[in-house]
């Protein structure tokens, strides 16, 4: 023990020496800043240095702890005379970190923990600092998130989530309070807030967080109103937040961003631009690019600020402009943890990428996940710059917690950090985590950037839904260091829409890139002879640009995304032009009428590129005769697709000849994540060579248009499906009886050999109009393939129409998505139906809300008069037992009856009825959900009159069918005409009559 004490004293003696050196640097810093150095502290420092040296020269054990204590006090005395620290009050937020450590999940109110919230810290330069809670007794119990102080230091805005019994109901919304705590008000999520979501989806509870005052008094924040998810969460409910804005009262909420993944921690640069963190992985590694971007306060001109071609740190967050400087302070952190890491300073005058622009303020804390995993032995959060040298921040000695771990509630203290090694503790609350230190002093208001976008109310026609994109010269690029591209090589630009992932759980769209984003080809535009482009593009969606050669193949691809707002005009000098490239005069670019996009072949149904829709018809036309229908196919490549809802076998066969990008196991490292000419896609793989070169002697008459469809698929990173939803058209079922009938038709018209071919060689359920049995016999002049004799000259031929109808009758398709969800309310697959159902409890949709004010007929006076089929364990009487769990079910198994199904109810006597209500089965899945129905009435159960027909909703909510006018009847018949999922059986949990209003 004695030896340990001796070691401790010698250790602290060394620390005391280092502390005096730090004090000298601090004194120089204060002097340079014009501060008044305390004479007594300097005198004490001189004396201390002598005492330390004397202790160091002696052979006896020094009193190192005492010397260090003196050094600690002297340095503080000098430091606190700095001009930047001459404020009395400091704002802090007392709230534990999130329960789930992840850069996305930390924003969920469901993962929040209750805290004391905003407080004012006084006496912070003394040994007895004190905090005063501002909202105690004024707010319910809940969690407080990332407050922002107004420029006049009189108000602050913050995110707050009230604690609820069901954690899923905990939602962050924006609140504003006076800095003296005298008032507080809710800004968003109020009755005035219509909670409008992107594309009217309802897959995520609306939450608003990360608020920041704009120079004009408005507030920018991040919100889940975008209703989408990151693609790599494995079905976990981790919504995406993107930038929105509102006015000072929380009204006029508008979407600033059409981002794909999370955007976080917005702040304002001195020139008025919004600086924020944007995560993206369009055709690149899914974890390495959370870097800084900027945009105007109106949302226009979204542009890169720093780091999108820089891997380490994986994420840069909590960036703030340093007062009186062109630099910003930020936090360098990992991907799989909440906002905690190592403080860095960024100077983009040294470059918008690369380590040369970064100064590591706290180099003792490595970048989490990039340098030492998560064993960081310390972390910083919410850094606030006082100047280029001094920074407030939250510090914790615990390591950064990786995904899913529960961070401790303490200790998280307020510290003062400098860029030459000082780490001064300011305030420690042993019972509460303290974040967001902000001096309570007025700040200089940044410049106000006037709105650059036209008033949406003034936009008419296509101007209301589009913007204009201009490129000065496509030949200017920094992405061709080897000079592979020559002026004139780029002949077209292709614009693609990138779809967001609107549900947490979904089927993958690519087998080779599990977390790929589906893309839709919007069209192409030719490059003018001078290399310029001016084109009209859709507004309000994520866009990707590809530079194409004369054959329509991508030679360079934007491995990122951008967007325009309605009426926005924006552009660039080149395709990622070299830094410092000046704009050459070209007034015609800004004055000429923009071109329109030319649609691409095979892409015309409003969804993303689908292999079965875009490529399979080409394979059916040109390839399956050898590769599938003629015995053993060459090289074992069978291009007839397999039936079912998995990866089509023809798709898998062609993947071997592609070169895709984005799988994190294959795309780590900068060299794989920066676009280079001919690197991936159609020109990167071997398919083009294999097809064009090895099939020359086959003389396959493939047209340029057909081949372009294959090229387009390859350039879309060889995705298989064009949507994330479970409601894909490719997920069709083929009816056995309908198939039998079609084969008989084929046999009669074209012979038994064609009729016996595999069904997937004859028809294409994803694109029925391009089914081989319709196209092969059709004349080329009519757009057909003219491959089968005894065919049709045009599509007006009655027999062609008969065949087309028979093909369409083959397929049963999934029901459409409901507000972005899969709509399988009684067996949700997407993980978001609960959000919509919760909303429908308060705001029933029209098809459910109709007739809610109508009274119900007495159930005890209603009986089942007739039913055409019932299972022994689920008789029709269960529709009237008042139990929502039990249900009637038609027979199933080997003796099931096909549709239609008849259910006849008898009332006690003749009654005026206004309609009918029913409830689908609420347990055991959706088998038997009725789709199309007809309602008939009768006075005697013999003569029937049809009243109405329509489609039921796929829901476990009660549905009401209200007649156009009340009718008198004693017998009511429901005829079920079809099932939601195309099966033979039907089921109903509860049914009854509606009466007219009294």
In this structure, is the dihedral angle defined by the CA atoms of residues 648, 652, 658 and 659, taken in order, positive or negative? positive
Nearest in space to 650 (alpha carbons), one of 659, 640, 661: 640
Q: What is the dihedral of CA 250, 253, 259, 265, to 10 degrees?
A: -20
Does residue 313 have a cis bond before it (omega within 30 degrees)?
A: yes
Averaged pLDDT score across all residues of the chain: 93
833 touches 820 (CB < 8 A):
no
Confidence bin at 771 (pLDDT 50/70/90):
very high
Q: Is 651 left (phi over 0), alpha (psi -120 to 50) or beta?
A: alpha
Is 283's pLDDT higher than 80? yes
Confidence bin at 763 (pLDDT 50/70/90):
very high
Higher pLDDT: 566 or 234? It is 566
List, for residues 366-378, the tens digit of each pLDDT value: 999 988 888 788 9
**Out of 240-254, 393-407, 664-678, least confident range:** 664-678
Cα 827 from Cα 834, distance rounded (Å):
11
Cα 524 from Cα 531, distance rounded (Å):
15
Is 697's pLDDT higher than 70? no
DSSP characters over 758-779: -HHHH--SSSGGG-HHHHTTB-
Cα 388 from Cα 452, distance rounded (Å):
32
pLDDT score at 511: 94
Is 696's pLDDT higher than 70? no
Q: What 8-state DSSP symbol labels residue 614?
A: I
In this structure, what token pair is assigned to residue 615? 């490529």
Contact partners, residue 477, CB within 8 Å, separation at least 6 = 485, 556, 574, 575, 576, 577, 578
Is 892's pLDDT higher than 70? yes
List, for residues 834-851, the tens digit of each pLDDT value: 999 999 988 888 888 899
Edge-to-edge strand list for the sheet holding 434-439: 130-133, 117-122, 90-94, 434-439
pLDDT score at 698: 63
Residue 364 CB coordination number (10 Å): 11
pLDDT score at 643: 83
List, for residues 2-11, the tens digit of each pLDDT value: 677 888 888 9
Is 962's pLDDT higher than 70? yes
Does residue 900 have a cis bond before it (omega within 30 degrees)?
A: yes
Is 603's pLDDT higher than 80? no
Query: What would the mean pLDDT of 393-415 be, rounded to a whole number?
Result: 93
Q: What 8-state DSSP symbol labels residue 737?
A: H
pLDDT score at 13: 87
pLDDT score at 574: 83
190 touches 141 (CB < 8 A):
no
Is 633's pLDDT higher than 90? no
DSSP characters over 468-499: EEEES-TT--SS-TT----TT---EEEEEEE-
Cα 97 from Cα 410, distance rounded (Å):
9
pLDDT score at 376: 81
Edge-to-edge strand list for the sheet holding 142-149: 142-149, 155-162, 172-178, 184-186
Backbone angles phi and psi of 997, in degrees to 5 = -60, 140
List, for residues 214-247, the tens digit of each pLDDT value: 999 999 999 999 999 999 998 999 999 999 999 9
Confidence bin at 955 (pLDDT 50/70/90):
confident
**Out of 6-15, 419-428, 435-444, 508-517, least confident range:** 6-15
Cα 983 from Cα 997, distance rounded (Å):
37
Confidence bin at 193 (pLDDT 50/70/90):
very high
How do beta strands 328-333 and 733-734 pair? Answer: unpaired
In this structure, what token pair is assigned to residue 462? 């296509």
Cα 243 from Cα 262, distance rounded (Å):
9
Looking at the DSSP bridge assignments, the partners of residue 912 are: 968
Query: What would the mean pLDDT of 935-943 be, rounded to a whole number?
Result: 96
Query: What would the mean pLDDT of 533-556 be, rounded to a whole number?
Result: 96
Is 332's pLDDT higher than 70? yes
**3 state SS of 9:** helix
Is 854's pLDDT higher than 90? yes
**Out of 352-356, 530-534, 662-666, 961-965, least confident range:** 662-666
Higher pLDDT: 688 or 550? It is 550
Cα 649 from Cα 324, distance rounded (Å):
62
Query: What would the mean pLDDT of 585-603 be, rounded to a whole number?
Result: 87
Q: What 8-state DSSP symbol labels residue 248?
A: T
Element (H, E) at 810: helix 798-810
List, for residues 113-147, the tens digit of each pLDDT value: 999 999 999 999 998 999 999 999 999 999 999 99
In this structure, is the dihedral angle defined by the CA atoms of residues 418, 420, 424 and 430, taken in order, positive or negative? positive
List, for residues 813-836, the tens digit of each pLDDT value: 888 899 999 998 888 899 999 999
List, for residues 248-257, the tens digit of each pLDDT value: 999 999 999 9
Residue carrying structure tokens 């000849």: 657
């Amino acid at each position: 023990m004695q030896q340990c004490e001796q070691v401790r004293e010698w250790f602290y003696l060394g620390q005391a020496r280092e502390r005096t050196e730090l004090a000298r640097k601090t004194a120089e810093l204060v002097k340079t800043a014009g501060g008044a150095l305390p004479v007594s502290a300097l005198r004490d420092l001189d004396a201390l240095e002598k005492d330390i040296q004397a202790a160091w020269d002696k052979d006896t054990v020094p009193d190192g702890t005492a010397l260090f204590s003196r050094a600690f006090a002297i340095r503080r005395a000098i430091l606190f005379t700095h001009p930047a620290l001459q404020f009395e009050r400091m704002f802090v937020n007392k709230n534990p970190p999130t329960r789930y450590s992840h850069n996305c999940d930390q924003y969920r109110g469901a993962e929040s923990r209750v805290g004391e919230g905003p407080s004012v810290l006084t006496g912070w330069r003394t040994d007895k600092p004190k905090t005063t809670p501002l909202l105690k007794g004024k707010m319910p119990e809940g969690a407080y998130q990332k407050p922002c102080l107004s420029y006049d230091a009189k108000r602050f805005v913050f995110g707050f989530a009230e604690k609820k019994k069901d954690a899923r109901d905990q939602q962050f919304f924006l609140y504003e309070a006076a800095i003296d705590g005298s008032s507080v008000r809710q800004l968003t999520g109020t009755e005035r807030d219509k909670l409008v979501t992107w594309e009217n989806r309802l897959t995520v509870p609306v939450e608003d967080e990360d608020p920041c005052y704009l120079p004009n008094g408005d507030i920018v924040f991040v919100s889940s109103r975008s209703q989408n998810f990151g693609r790599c969460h494995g079905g976990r409910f981790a919504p995406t937040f993107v930038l929105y804005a509102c006015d000072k009262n929380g009204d006029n909420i508008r979407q600033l961003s059409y981002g794909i993944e999370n955007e976080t921690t917005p702040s304002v640069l001195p020139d008025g631009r919004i600086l924020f963190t944007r995560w993206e992985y369009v055709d690149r590694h899914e974890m390495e690019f959370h870097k800084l971007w900027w945009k105007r306060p109106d949302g226009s001109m979204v542009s890169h600020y720093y780091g999108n071609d820089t891997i380490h740190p994986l994420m840069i967050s909590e960036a703030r402009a340093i007062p009186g400087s062109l630099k910003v302070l930020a936090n360098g952190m990992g991907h799989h943890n909440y906002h905690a890491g190592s403080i860095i300073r960024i100077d983009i005058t040294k470059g918008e990428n690369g380590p040369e622009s970064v100064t590591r303020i706290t180099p003792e804390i490595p970048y989490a996940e990039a340098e030492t995993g998560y064993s960081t032995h310390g972390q910083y959060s919410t850094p606030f710059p006082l100047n280029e040298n001094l920074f407030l921040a939250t510090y914790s000695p615990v390591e950064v917690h990786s995904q899913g771990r529960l961070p401790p509630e303490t200790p998280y203290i307020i510290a003062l950090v400098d860029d030459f090694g000082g780490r001064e503790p300011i305030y420690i609350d042993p019972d509460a985590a303290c974040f967001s230190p902000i001096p309570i002093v007025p700040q200089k208001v940044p410049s106000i950037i006037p709105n650059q976008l036209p008033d949406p109310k003034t936009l008419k026609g296509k101007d209301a839904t589009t913007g204009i994109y201009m490129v000065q010269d496509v030949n200017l690029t920094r992405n061709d260091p080897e000079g592979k591209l020559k002026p004139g090589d780029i002949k077209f630009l292709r614009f693609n829409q990138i779809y967001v992932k609107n549900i947490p759980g979904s089927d993958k769209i690519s087998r080779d890139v599990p977390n790929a984003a589906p893309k839709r080809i919007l069209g192409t535009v030719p490059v003018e002879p001078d290399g310029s482009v001016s084109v009209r593009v859709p507004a309000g969606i994520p866009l990707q640009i590809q530079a194409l050669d004369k054959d329509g193949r991508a030679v360079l691809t934007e491995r990122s995304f951008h967007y325009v707002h309605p009426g926005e005009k924006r552009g660039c000098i080149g395709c990622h032009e070299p830094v410092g490239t000046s704009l050459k005069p070209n007034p015609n670019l800004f004055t000429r009428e923009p071109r329109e996009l030319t649609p691409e072949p095979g892409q015309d149904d409003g969804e993303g590129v689908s292999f079965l829709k875009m490529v399979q018809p080409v394979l059916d036309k040109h390839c399956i005769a050898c590769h599938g229908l003629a015995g053993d196919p060459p090289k074992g490549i069978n291009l007839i697709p397999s039936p079912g809802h998995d990866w089509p076998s023809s798709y898998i066969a062609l993947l071997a000849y592609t070169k895709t990008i984005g799988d994190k196991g294959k795309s780590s490292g900068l060299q794989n994540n920066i676009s280079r000419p001919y690197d991936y896609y159609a020109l990167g793989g071997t398919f083009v060579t294999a097809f064009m070169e090895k099939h020359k002697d086959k003389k396959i008459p493939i047209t340029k248009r057909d081949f372009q469809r294959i090229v387009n698929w390859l350039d879309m990173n060889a995705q298989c499906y064009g949507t994330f939803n479970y409601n894909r058209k490719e997920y069709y079922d083929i009816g056995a009886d309908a198939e039998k009938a079609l084969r008989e038709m084929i046999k009669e018209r074209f012979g038994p050999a064609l009729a016996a071919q595999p069904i997937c060689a004859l028809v294409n359920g994803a694109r029925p109009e391009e089914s081989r049995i319709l196209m092969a016999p059709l004349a080329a002049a009519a757009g057909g393939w003219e491959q089968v004799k005894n065919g049709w000259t045009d599509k007006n031929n009655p027999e062609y129409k008969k065949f087309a109808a028979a093909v369409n009758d083959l397929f049963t398709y999934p029901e459409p998505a409901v507000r972005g969800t899969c709509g399988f309310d009684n067996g949700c697959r997407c993980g978001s139906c609960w959000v919509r159902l919760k909303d429908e409890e308060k705001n029933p949709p029209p098809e459910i809300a109709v007739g809610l004010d109508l009274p119900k007929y007495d159930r005890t006076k209603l009986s089942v008069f007739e039913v055409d089929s019932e299972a022994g364990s689920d008789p029709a009487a269960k529709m009237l037992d008042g139990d929502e769990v039990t249900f009637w079910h038609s027979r199933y198994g080997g003796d099931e009856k096909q549709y239609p199904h008849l259910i006849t109810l008898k009332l006690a006597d003749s009654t005026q009825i206004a309609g009918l209500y029913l409830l689908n089965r609420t347990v055991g899945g959706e088998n038997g959900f009725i789709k199309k129905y007809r309602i008939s009435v009768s006075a005697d159960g013999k003569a029937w009159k049809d009243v109405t027909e329509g489609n039921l909703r796929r829901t476990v909510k009660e549905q009401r069918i209200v007649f156009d006018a009340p009718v008198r009847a004693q017998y009511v018949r429901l005829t079920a005409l079809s099932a939601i999922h195309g099966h033979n059986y039907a089921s109903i949990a509860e049914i009854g009559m509606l009466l007219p209003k009294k």
